[in-house]
Chains A and B, each alone.
Chain A
Amino acid sequence: MTELIQQIVNGLSLGSTYALLALGLAIVFSIFGLVNFAYGELITIAAYTMLLTSYMGLPWTLQIIAGVLAAVVGSVLMEQIAFKPVRNADPTTMIITSFGVAIAIQSIFTMTVSARPRAVPQPDWTATSVTLGGIIIPAYQILTITVTVVALVLMTVMLKKTRIGLSMRAAAEDFGAARLLGVRANRVVSAAFALSGLLAGVAAILILTRTGGVVEPTMGLGPVLKAFVAIVIGGIGSLSGAVLGGFILGFAEVALRAGLPSSVTGLADGVLFAVVVIIIISRPEGILGVKQRLRT
């Protein structure tokens, strides 16, 4: 029983991170019609900014603020520089552009810092844990679940109650109709990329607390793939689907790791990606097809 609850907490924690990541990817897709594979590099940018600010001797709280800001700015600039010129191009062109951006950013970090991993020292409390009725919950898991719940609530309030949120929902459903009513195209697109960067930055903080602060140029690849899997599971274009897909993926991964013999736990990712391939093959229109309505 405690073992089961332990695994449920593990699933919630992993699923939380995936849900945040998937939401960030889905927001840009719902408005811009692009699966931004350079999304993972926003995590990298946030992480290296935290590394830089830790070298500068700033306290952890300032490091994470700087990291999130860098991801937000990086995301908005990414759109301005790389994606705006291909805004009206076909989805394939946009996706290839996003791969190009991802490789370029990885290369920049490899050349300017190092290809080798570095570590951002994490606060001591992140490595502690709480014992509750025989269940051991690491502090980073509590942080992850709490931050995710807060982020999801704020996001929902933003989309439902604010003017920019209304504009974003309208633009996600019918960009042209929204513009006819005065919604500024540039503003909602920038807002979508900014939010996407914000979520990537927050996810980066959570990822570093789990890994003990390991930073490397290719660190964004795993997260963006997981986020992509989550939005495929949840129904691409749907925000609530992305969140749900993130949690399903988190629980599935935990269940697979717990269920498979330890010699083949490496297969867990393989099984998950096989599932995605099956979803993509059975519903190809869900991947490169027309964007669906943004559902909250």
Chain B
Amino acid sequence: MLQIDSLVVRYGGIQAVQGISLEVQEGELVALLGPNGAGKSSTLNACVGLVKPASGRIVFEGREVQGMKPEDVVRLGLVLTPEGRRILTGLTVRENLLLAGAIRKDRKAMLADLDRLLERFPILGERAGLAAGTLSGGEAQQLAIARSLMCAPRLLLLDEPTLGLAPKVVDQVFGIVEELRAEGITVLMVEQNAVRALEIADRAYVMRTGVIVGQGTAEELGDAEGLISSYLGAGS
């Protein structure tokens, strides 16, 4: 569904991503792991056009998307929930969702989806008319994911969805990700919490300083505890 081939991302002199290749099959939940600064966000951002790759190919459902504009990529069903959530705090919760749904052609179905999401995430339903800036971290993450779902994703890219959240809320977010997969949405998730991510992922890639240094199924990587601890730091 997604193939990344020899992707290079540069910021001025820094080569943040140094020619990585990876792929995600339809229906999979794939984790992209690695320490801070490994180039994980740069990889996801390149997929959706937030940064222009220096070289390499990104193919989504048979179509080259590298260098496309973010507003065009999202219309293909390749949707990023960005790091830090980037909730539009001056808009209401409902307006955040409506904005995302505006790309869809069938407005009736879109509004029905919106109602369904407000039921599925009851806290968002309660706060629908309030400014999104009033949400707590966990609530904002729910809004960020719900907003991505309004874009009718075929492949959802999640960048550190549990960053900065309380442990209980982290559980909740992992629960939501598992549900998404169960609903048939393909997911590529960047996570710092490698152990938890490997529990729910089918496969994982391990990135470090711009290159992929390990990959495999959860079992394969899980067996190689040494690999995880040496690349990611134990105890995470």
List the interface of chain A (C-beta within 8 A of B): 163, 166-167, 169-170, 173-174, 176-185, 293-295
Beta-carbon nearest neighbor of B81 in chain A: A180
A-B contact pairs, 21 of them (CB 8 A): A166-B91, A166-B99, A167-B99, A173-B88, A173-B89, A173-B90, A177-B86, A177-B88, A178-B88, A179-B69, A179-B70, A180-B50, A180-B80, A181-B100, A182-B74, A182-B99, A182-B103, A182-B151, A183-B99, A293-B89, A295-B90
Kindly identify, within residues 46 to 99 of chain B, every residue whose CB is under 8 Å from any CB belonging to chain A.
Answer: 48-50, 69-71, 74-75, 79-80, 82, 86-91, 95, 98-99
In the complex, are the beta carbons of A181 and B90 less than 8 A apart?
no
Residue in A181, A185, A294, A295 whose CB lies within 8 Å of B99: A181
Q: Contact check: which of A163, A169, A179, A293 meets B102 at CB < 8 Å?
A: A163
* B113 CB to nearest chain A CB (Å): 14
Known contacts A179-B50, A180-B82; 11 additional CB pairs below 8 A are A166-B95, A167-B99, A169-B91, A170-B88, A170-B99, A173-B90, A173-B91, A174-B86, A182-B74, A182-B102, A182-B103
| Inter-chain contacts of B71 with A (CB < 8 A) | 179, 182-185
User: If the complex has contacts A163-B102, A166-B102, A167-B99, are A181 and B91 also in contact, measured as CB distance less than 8 A?
Assistant: no
Bound CA–CA A173/B79 (angstroms): 20
Please count the residue pairs between chain A and chain B whose beta carbons lie under 8 angstroms apart in the complex: 69
For residue B154, CB closer than 8 A to chain A, the reply is no
Using Cβ atoms and an 8 Å threshold, which residues of chain A touch B49?
Answer: 179
Q: Is the CB of B70 within 8 A of A176?
A: yes
Which range holds the interface residue count of chain B?
A: 20 to 34
CB–CB A181/B151 < 8 A: yes
Is B208 positioned at the interface, with any CB of A under 8 Å from its CB? no
In the assembled complex, the Cα of A43 lies from the Cα of B99 at a distance in Å of 33
Please name the residue on chain A nearest to B70 by beta carbon.
A179
Q: How far is the CB of A238 from chain B (nearest CB, A)?
A: 11
Q: Enumerate chain A residues within 8 angstroms of B40, measured Cβ to Cβ.
A: none
Instruction: Assess the B90–A294 pair: CB atoms within 8 A.
Output: yes
- Check A180 against B90 for contact (C-beta < 8 Å): no
Chain A residues whose CB sits within 8 angstroms of the CB of B86 once the complex forms: 174, 176-177, 180
* B82 and A177 form a contact (CB under 8 A): yes
Chain B residues near A174 (CB-CB < 8 A): 86, 88
Residue from A173, A181, A185 whose CB has the most chain B CB atoms within 10 Å: A181
* Contact across chains for A182 and B100 when beta carbons are under 8 A apart: yes
Residues of B at under 8 Å CB distance from A? 48-50, 69-71, 74-75, 79-80, 82, 86-91, 95, 98-100, 102-103, 147, 151
Q: How far is the CA of A294 from the CA of B71 in the complex (A)?
A: 21
CB distance from A237 to the nearest CB of B (A): 11
Cross-chain contact B50 with A166 (CB below 8 angstroms): no
Top 6 nearest A-B pairs (CB, nearest first) are A182-B103, A177-B86, A179-B70, A181-B100, A182-B74, A179-B71
Chain B residue contacts of A163, Cβ below 8 A = 102
**Please, how many angstroms separate the alpha-carbon atoms of A174 and B151 in the complex?**
18
Q: In this complex, what residue of A is CB-closest to B144? A: A177
**Contact residues in B for A177 (Cβ distance below 8 Å):** 82, 86-88
Q: Do residues B99 and A178 form an inter-chain contact, with CB atoms below 8 A?
A: yes
**Whose C-beta in chain B lies nearest to the C-beta of A176?**
B50
CB distance from A161 to the nearest CB of B (A): 11
Provide the bound-state CA to CA distance between A190 and B70, in Å.
18
- Closest residue of chain A to B75 (Cβ to Cβ) is A182
A25 CA to B170 CA in the complex, in Å?
44
Give A185 to B69 CA distance when docked, in angstroms. Answer: 9
- A185 and B80 CA atoms in complex are apart in Å by 17
In the complex, the answer to whether A181 meets B95 with C-beta atoms within 8 Å is no
Q: A27 CB to closest chain B CB, in angstroms?
A: 15
A169 touches B90 (CB 8 A): yes
A169: B residues at CB distance < 8 A: 88, 90-91, 95
- CB neighbours of B100 from chain A (8 A): 181-182
